[in-house]
A and B are shown apart, each in its own frame.
Chain A
Amino acid sequence: MKRIGIFCCLLALSLAACQKTQKQEYSGAEGDYVNGTPLPPRQEGVSFFSDNVAKGQFQPIYFAFDSFEISPDEGKKLQQIGSFLKTAHNNIILAGFTDERGTPEYNRGLGERRAQAARNYLLSLGVSATRIQTVSFGQEMPVNPGHEESAWAKNRRVETGVVR
């Protein structure tokens, strides 16, 4: 009995050790995050650029450099969008953007991750996943074409398009 106990202890310890190394060394299927609610099918004839999508109704959500975390202040903006979606029946498109630093393809991924972060926030407020599409433009279409932090801070954003 005692031996079994020791064995179990060792097993638990080695498992813990395994997990730790995994977290340090590996990405991918093992030790992953269960990350995602699949996106709904796109709506025909509706995109961030189409005439039936209104932009500028909500303030952009801003991000720190190379980050997709939503700060408490930016979260308040998403709460406003969440309240709107509770009463309105519109669908929305969340478009992610980055500043010009970073290579273009990585920035397209980062922009999408920012849009998905905003989406996850709205999902946590109870908004249905079927109502939100995402798109990333990476470093394209900067709000401010400048090459300093004040410009970059404005460009690291998620914009909301409301489908009419």
Chain B
Amino acid sequence: MKVSLLAVLSLCLATTLFGENSSAPVITVHKGISEQVEVNQISGQAGVEATSILKNDIQLSGAFSLSNSATSTITVSGTASPSSFTGTATEKSGGVVLQKNYPGETRRTVHQFTNDLVETVTGQKGIALSKVAFVADRTGHKEIYTCDYDGARTVQLTHDGAISVSPALSADGRRLAYTGYQSGYADIYRIDLTSGARTRIVKFPGTNSGAAISPDGTRIACTMSKDGNPEIYVTGINGDSPRRLTRSRGVESSPTWSPDGSEIIYSSDERGGPQLYRISSQGGSGRLLTTGFGYNTQPNWSPDGRKVAFNVRNGGGFQVAILDLDSGSTRGTVAEGENPVWGPDSRHLIFARGSGLYLFDTVTGRETRLVSDLGPISEPAWSH
């Protein structure tokens, strides 16, 4: 335990130092696992709301921890009106780390400021502006819901009254694809989240499910069974010109894209229990990824391309495991939960467990519950 904590500490230090070197400006003080940030009461008409959103953002960022003036290395203050937010972050020495005005409503502008602060200090992408989609059973039917990364603004997106499952978000969070059974069969639908327009894009005979939108938003990978077996296919974003990638006797499911869109990792049970395979998105042969587990499903490729989170099964429940693609080694199980998906920072995961949706920091192991009171929750998706 001591050793692994030490490893985590040194890893964080290395990451922080590296981040500092690669992004030239500002910050000089890096001591611990995360920067200690003090948040002063935000002034202005929307100050109370802005303060609580900002404190929560800082806490959930992973890059920072909330602190008081005695221990903090960065102090944040600001002014919030209903239509704009100005934030200032200063070092103990008085040097300004970040000062910026953001026009727009409070929640969004505070998230923008947090992301900018994370990026300035660590060089990493923040998670505060990302969107989450998931399946909940509150109405007695499985429907698709969306919320912000912190669980705020939860909205029921579909009202199909059928079975609506397996949501996927585009990287920019503007489009959502999901599996709907309105026709009595499993079809893939695409929703433009800005206009609300919905199109049934994949409706071949048999079962069409498990859509994953390519990082550039032009293609969809999914499972189809039209040719007589559930296999992985890649189609255009409108479900056009499907191209078959796999040919096996077994069940292929849950494709996930590499960040550059050139490869796909999926789950296949052709050798008994489901295993993970890696294949070119143009086709070819799937190469087995050895994980050391007998049951491997629901792979999700991190946006930095270096890791795959997936589910393993042990006893009654599901555990989250992480495969490091550089070394090929699996970092045992890190948490209890289903369908882990990476956030934009390739550090946090969101997964479902029972009637909860959880944000999980893979560096510290901290878990934060995002959503409750919607009945059983499953199959989250996370924009980047």
Q: Do A and B bind each other?
A: yes
Select B286's contact among A27, A48, A101, A116, beta carbons within 8 Å.
A27
Say whether, besides A104-B379, A116-B230, A26 and B206 are in contact (CB < 8 Å): no
Shortest Cβ gap from A39 to chain B (Å):
4
Query: CA–CA, A22 to B286, complex, Å?
Result: 10
Say whether, besides A66-B273, A105-B254, A112-B225, A33 and B205 are in contact (CB < 8 Å): no
- Whether, in the assembled complex, B114 has its beta carbon less than 8 Å from a beta carbon of chain A, the answer is no
- Whether, in the assembled complex, B17 has its beta carbon less than 8 Å from a beta carbon of chain A, the answer is no
Q: Using Cβ atoms and an 8 Å threshold, which residues of chain B touch A46?
A: 184
Check B247–A105 contact: CB distance below 8 A: no
Interface residues on A, range: 35 or more
Check B226–A108 contact: CB distance below 8 A: no
Shortest Cβ gap from A158 to chain B (Å):
13
Check A28–B228 contact: CB distance below 8 A: no
The residues in A between 39 and 79 inclusive whose CB is less than 8 angstroms from any CB of B are 39-42, 46-50, 66, 68
Closest-by-CB residue of B relative to A34 is B247
Q: Using Cβ atoms and an 8 Å threshold, which residues of chain A touch B207?
A: 108-109, 111-112, 134-136
Chain A window 20-33, contacts with chain B (Cβ cutoff 8 Å), 1 for yes, 0 for no: 00100111111011
Chain B window 223-258, contacts with chain A (Cβ cutoff 8 Å), 1 for yes, 0 for no: 101111110000000000000011111111110000
Say whether, besides A26-B288, A39-B225, A105 and B253 are in contact (CB < 8 Å): yes
Query: CA–CA, A39 to B271, complex, Å?
Result: 25
Check A108–B288 contact: CB distance below 8 A: no
Check A39–B205 contact: CB distance below 8 A: yes
Select B184's contact among A49, A109, A120, beta carbons within 8 Å.
A49
Say whether, besides A40-B205, A116-B228, A105 and B186 are in contact (CB < 8 Å): no
Query: CA–CA, A113 to B186, complex, Å?
Result: 14
Check A105–B273 contact: CB distance below 8 A: no
Say whether, besides A103-B338, A135-B186, A35 and B205 are in contact (CB < 8 Å): no
Check B247–A133 contact: CB distance below 8 A: no
Most buried by A among B247, B268, B297: B247
- Whether, in the assembled complex, B311 has its beta carbon less than 8 Å from a beta carbon of chain A, the answer is yes
Check A27–B267 contact: CB distance below 8 A: no
Query: CA–CA, A107 to B206, complex, Å?
Result: 15
Q: Chain B: residues with CB nearer than 8 A to chain A?
A: 135, 142, 163, 165-166, 179, 181, 183-186, 203-207, 209-210, 223, 225-230, 245-254, 267-271, 273-274, 277, 279, 283-288, 297-298, 311, 313, 318, 338-339, 378-379
Q: Chain A: residues with CB nearer than 8 A to chain B?
A: 22, 25-30, 32-33, 35-42, 46-50, 66, 68, 101-106, 108-113, 116, 119-120, 133-137, 140
Q: A39-B226, A66-B273 are in contact. List 15 more A-B contacts (CB 8 A).
A: A27-B246, A28-B246, A28-B248, A29-B247, A39-B206, A41-B205, A47-B183, A103-B318, A104-B339, A105-B298, A105-B379, A108-B253, A112-B223, A116-B225, A136-B186
